[in-house]
A and B are shown apart, each in its own frame.
Chain A
């Protein structure tokens, strides 16, 4: 398709025009291929009847319905037994507004996003640049860097819980060797969350690195070689060729990173359990500890609804703004 024959944007035609008129009025009919309305044959309907219901039912029962139900439960004071009966309107949402722990959870989620974007992704990119090439041992390093991601989140949380332990853990061994008082990072409410951030970076940088490695391998080497012959420095080649071409992958990795950060849960529970003094909760762990384990299913549902709207707003907004060309 060339620019000269393409129809003007639909918006310029104005919404008042009947749709059939647009093509005929503004473009030569010959340049537009009008797809004939496809009639579904009996066979086509049969295919739909066979293939659509399983997916539709699964999606409805396990995705759409629970979401609607959660929205419904959010209006009740309900402990999960029997049917919700005590309708309290928006009170659950009111409790959230004044809740310092929930505010802290939101801040923590924001911190995870910031650290992911400013530390984790650049680190992943730097490592990807190092291990993407055909240097000896690159495959090994790729595998080693990817290993933390393969590990189950709960296992990672438990391992690091032991590592940070001031008595028996690696932290204890270090302070012991230096002759210092044992230090319990996870008990320190000022710094405990930085421990969580360390574990998150450690756990997920390998995943993003692999995305970048895949992206780097898709870049045409002849472009880089041509630039090199033209005298471009390594930095210029990175900045003007590699980075722009890696754009789609970077946008995708940011998307995964933010959505993952918003939903982070599994690492928190074994690592800190939200403590000390509820300073290390994320929104989802807040939902779990203050909704599920306290049998305040209505309140938990309200948290879920808030989380849902944050995620949906981000996901659609981001895709619309940053990923429309990808």
Chain B
């Protein structure tokens, strides 16, 4: 009797699970730890699965470093290759494309790509071929502590040029306040200064020209001058003591503790400064202001040129057509608006900036909507081998370990060895 029941049960289970084998599975591999972001994504996946029987979209998380280390192997395996995966664009994406791991989706995306911000769409093209779809852009800005600015008598509205900025740093310093916090232990936070200075001095063609090897490549005047300006700032000792060992998370905490007046950082700082502060609460959002990176007198860049990440989904070579269909579904305005309303991220869907209620995010989204030139992080754009050298060089120049000329030469050397 018992055996029969079991056999019946087994038959039922088999019958039920049989359709599951016929399902199209779409795994979306990502690195996000942001709960609001994941909530939006999971909702999109659920909606899509409900509307498309026979397809199962699933978001899977891998820790950032593990993701980067495992992905090359996963892409070569037929069993564990994700259909869609997270990307920062730039050099790594180009390497993946060159190795033939990415699918050409130019024709599938062309009809609706005009709904997305053009710079973001372009970031996922390799030689004119679309290999992925962006979902978010970011902007690196100075976040400042309004109370500390007030205490030192610094007015944010008056900071337009690099000299204004240096003046503000001196004033803060004179008031006994640490002007800037930077997590230089991880190096890339310092590269924001170098990258922005190159953009402000050399304009929108500086990086592309350097990559193409024009005017001495990375030894060009824009890079050397950027290094000199960075050193000029660093000579005022504006950073917190021990900044060379400070991690990114620690630096967010220091800003949240109100121990430093400014932090040049991406939009995630808003959510990060609280949990990493000693109180766990950090600064109230109303006490945080946003300041665009100042212009450098005589430079070719505009104050409205923006530096920030562009993240998207790449489609792997063997992905079924449903994967691209899902990306179209994902890119609908209603989901972008939801992401905006919950301040989960800054979506690339045009018009979604009006859905922001959070004032800081609203400001960033409007900056990005009006951007005159948006640049991906240099270290992502250039890929890890040259990118990490830029990060190293930024820290070394700031600390006076390397001359601006030597730093520029080291980047050029890395580019040539690539």
Contact = CB atoms under 8 A, between A and B. Distances in A.
Interface string A268-297: 000011011110000000000100111110
Interface string A176-193: 000001101011010000
Interface residues of B, number: 31
Contact of B95 (A161, A292, A295): A295
B245 A79 contact: no
A182 B241 contact: yes
Contacts of A95: 417
Contacts of A165: 242, 245
Interface of B: 68-69, 72, 75, 92, 95-96, 98-101, 185-187, 241-245, 254, 383-385, 388, 392, 395-396, 399, 401, 417-418
* Interface residue range, chain A: 20 to 34
Contact of A81 (B72, B245, B385, B401): B72
A74 interface: no
A317 interface: no
* Residue of B68, B69, B418 with most chain A CB atoms under a 10 A cut-off: B418
18 contacts: A79-B95, A81-B96, A81-B99, A166-B242, A167-B254, A184-B244, A187-B242, A187-B243, A275-B244, A275-B245, A276-B244, A277-B399, A277-B401, A278-B392, A293-B68, A294-B385, A295-B385, A296-B385
Contacts of A53: none
A187 B392 contact: no
Given A166-B241, A166-B242, A275-B244, A295 B98 contact: no
A82 interface: yes
User: Is the contact region of chain A dominated by helix, strand, or loop, or is it mixed?
Assistant: loop
A212 to B, nearest CB: 35
Contacts of A79: 95, 383, 385
A81 B242 contact: no
A81 B74 CA distance: 11
Nearest to A279: B401
Given A79-B385, A278-B392, A295 B241 contact: no
B245 A276 contact: yes
A247 interface: no
A133 interface: no
A244 interface: no
A226 to B, nearest CB: 57
Interface of A: 77, 79-82, 95, 161, 165-167, 181-182, 184, 186-187, 189, 272-273, 275-278, 289, 292-296
Contacts of B392: 278
A184 B100 contact: no
A166 B245 CA distance: 10
Contacts of A182: 241-242
A81 B95 contact: yes
Contacts of B244: 184, 186-187, 275-276
Nearest to B392: A278
Contacts of B187: 275
A37 to B, nearest CB: 48
A31 to B, nearest CB: 61
A82 B99 contact: yes
Contacts of B69: 292
A12 to B, nearest CB: 56
* Residue of A165, A273, A275, A278 with most chain B CB atoms under a 10 A cut-off: A275
A187 B241 CA distance: 9
A103 B349 CA distance: 50
Given A81-B95, A167-B242, A187-B242, A273 B185 contact: yes
Contacts of A289: 388
Contacts of B95: 79, 81, 295
Nearest to A171: B242
A295 B385 CA distance: 6
Contacts of A161: 245
B178 to A, nearest CB: 11
Contact of A295 (B92, B245, B417): B92
A80 B74 CA distance: 12
7 closest A-B pairs by beta carbon, nearest first, are A184-B242, A82-B99, A81-B99, A187-B244, A186-B245, A294-B385, A187-B245
Contacts of A166: 241-242
Contacts of A295: 92, 95, 383-385
B100 A82 contact: yes
A117 to B, nearest CB: 29
